[in-house]
Structure 1
Amino acid sequence: MDVLGVLNLGDVAQTFSKIGTFPVFDLAYYIVSILYLKYEPGSVEVARKSPVASWLCAMLYCFASYILADVLLGGCPLDYFQYNSHILLASTIWYLIFFCPLNLFYKCVAFLPVKLVLVALKEVVRARKIAAGVHHAHHAYHNGFLIMVIIGYVKGSGVALISNFEQLLRGVWSPDTNEILNMSFPTKASLYGAILFTLQEAHLLPVSKSTLICLFTLFMATTKVILTARHSHGSPFILIESWVCHLLFGSPLGGGEEEHHASPAPAPVAPVSPVKTKEELGEGTRKRKSKKAE
């Protein structure tokens, strides 16, 4: 019975891995990516004032992983833009989300049940991209395990890693959103997934690639749907990470992240006396006059 279950899982994984991502899964990936762009502060105003800048930001949200991976592997960052069908599809989604009359398209895709389906489909593309990135790096650097992890990580979370550059295109600069310093769940999961796929590519993980893709996709889709439904930005890895960091690096157990991000209470400001203010103003005026005289 166990053998039959393993065979059935292997068959399902093989069939699942052969399913192409275009256009259904890629469509969901573009919709969710550009939907997150619209959530960014100032993105709607930028779309009205400078549609070209908004379109470039949308293309980065959709294709940043390919651009970064090509740059790191010595390729041309514009290579992926030769696929006209993908560019046309992403551009159409961008236009509908930002400029559809009465905001109808945005309201439809932002409706929670629809959004949950789209989020799950997007994670299918993420898992495939991580696996493809590791496989591509393995062909270029057979024993470069670190390079495989980096390329797989970039393929899975490219938009997060390039977010600061994308902010410059929108005229916004938020260095506290650096994804390396404050990793979100998709970024962490992409890193862990890249490590798993690297181990599998090096034949150190006793599982087939199709099975690993299927299991990782199932985990990512389920977790992301639950987090989206609960409007949560947490991570299921936080407990394990807390213990590992405590053992290896001496980090405090629990609450460290919350205390780190908590802003201290503002100190009470003493009222300024009007008389004192006038005296300070008078003193400043006398100093300016003395400087002019000198």
Structure 2
Amino acid sequence: MDVLEVLNLGDIAQTFSKMGMFPVFDLAYYIVSILYLKYEPGSVEVARKSPVASWLCAMLYCFGSYILADVLLGGCPLDYFQYNSHILLASAIWYLVFFCPLNLFYKCVAFLPVKLVLVALKEVVRTRKIAAGVHHAHHAYHNGFLIMVIIGYVKGSGVALISNFEQLLRGVWRPETNEILNMSFPTKASLYGAILFTLQEAHLLPVSKSTLICLFTVFMATTKVILTARHSHGSPFVLIESWVCHLLFGSPLGGGEEEHHAAPVAPVSPVKTKEEFGEGTRKRKSKKAE
């Protein structure tokens, strides 16, 4: 019975790994990506004033990972734009999100139950992109494990890594949002996923690729749905990262966030200082008189 269950799980994982992403999963990916663009400050104003700049930003949100990976592997950054169906679909989503009458499309896809489904579908695409990036780098650099990790990482979180460049297109510059300095959960998960898929590609991880894709997709989709439902920007890796950084780099336990949120020491009131100074002066004068 256990053997049959394992075989069934393997068959399910293999079927899932071969499932096509276009158009349903890619549609969800484009919708969620452009939703995040609309949440950015000033993006609606840019869409009204300069639709071309807004459309370019939307294309970076949808295809930034492919562009950055092609640049790193020495390919043409415009290579992915040959897929007309993907470009037209992403462009249609961009137009509906920003210019649909009465904002109806945005209200529908931003409705929380619908958004949770779209977020889960997006994570399916993210996992597949990480696996594809590692596989592509493996063919180009057979023993380049670090290159495999980098390309898989970029494929999974390329949009976040080039977000500062995208901000320049919108006329905004916020260096504090640098994703390398302040990694969000999808960026960290993409890095860890790239490491896992690299180990699997190098036959150092005793699990098939289809099973790894299935398990990692379930983890990503479940975690992202929970975080989105709770409106949280946290990460389930915080506790583990805190202990690892404490052991390896001597960082304080609890992470930097607690330190930043610690109550600041109240500054000494200048009025109180003057009063104390005046009181001390009066005491010294009274002692002199005595």
TM > 0.5: yes
Offset at residue 282 of structure 1 (A)? 31
Residues 242 and 255, structure 2, Cα contact 8 Å, conserved in 1? no
Go from structure 1 to structure 2 and tell me whether the alpha carbon gap of 1:291 and 1:184 turns closer, same or farther (over 3 Å shift).
farther
Offset at residue 257 of structure 1 (A)? 2.3
Measure, in 1, the Cα distance between the counterparts of 2:209 and 2:160.
Answer: 26
Matches within 5 A, 1:270-289: none
SS of alignment partner, residue 193 of structure 2: helix
Aligned to 2:18: 18
**Matched positions, count:** 289
Worse-superposed segment, 248-257 or 117-126 = 248-257
SS of alignment partner, residue 131 of structure 1: helix
Aligned to 2:229: 229
After superposition, give the CA deviation of every residue in 1:241-291 in whole Å (9 maximum; x if it has no partner): 000000000000015223247xxxxx9999999999999999999999999
Aligned to 1:150: 150
Measure, in 1, the Cα distance between the counterparts of 2:270 and 2:147.
Answer: 65
Structure 1: give runs of 5+ residues left out of the alignment.
262-266
Go from structure 1 to structure 2 and tell me whether the alpha carbon gap of 1:274 and 1:192 turns closer, same or farther (over 3 Å shift).
closer
After superposition, give the CA deviation of every residue in 1:114-151 in whole Å (9 maximum; x if it has no partner): 00000000000000000000000000000000000000
After superposition, give the CA deviation of every residue in 1:27-83 in whole Å (9 maximum; x if it has no partner): 000000000000000000000000000000000000000000000000000000000
Go from structure 1 to structure 2 and tell me whether the alpha carbon gap of 1:225 and 1:280 turns closer, same or farther (over 3 Å shift).
same
After superposition, give the CA deviation of every residue in 1:146-168 in whole Å (9 maximum; x if it has no partner): 00000000000000000000000
Go from structure 1 to structure 2 and tell me whether the alpha carbon gap of 1:156 and 1:274 turns closer, same or farther (over 3 Å shift).
closer
Measure, in 2, the Cα distance between the counterparts of 1:290 and 1:85.
Answer: 91
After superposition, give the CA deviation of every residue in 1:155-206 in whole Å (9 maximum; x if it has no partner): 0000000000000000000000000000000000000000000000000000
Measure, in 2, the Cα distance between the counterparts of 1:286 and 1:147.
Answer: 74
Measure, in 2, the Cα distance between the counterparts of 1:163 and 1:232.
Answer: 20
Measure, in 2, the Cα distance between the counterparts of 1:163 and 1:76.
Answer: 20
Measure, in 2, the Cα distance between the counterparts of 1:239 and 1:288.
Answer: 56
State the TM-score, normalizing by the size of structure 2: 0.90
After superposition, the CA RMSD in angstroms is 7.5
Structure 1 stretches of at least 4 aligned residues deviating more than 4 Å after TM superposition: 267-294
Measure, in 2, the Cα distance between the counterparts of 1:149 and 1:55.
Answer: 30
1:49 aligns with 2:49: yes
Aligned to 1:140: 140
Measure, in 2, the Cα distance between the counterparts of 1:157 and 1:59.
Answer: 15
Go from structure 1 to structure 2 and tell me whether the alpha carbon gap of 1:251 and 1:95 turns closer, same or farther (over 3 Å shift).
same
Measure, in 2, the Cα distance between the counterparts of 1:88 and 1:198.
Answer: 33
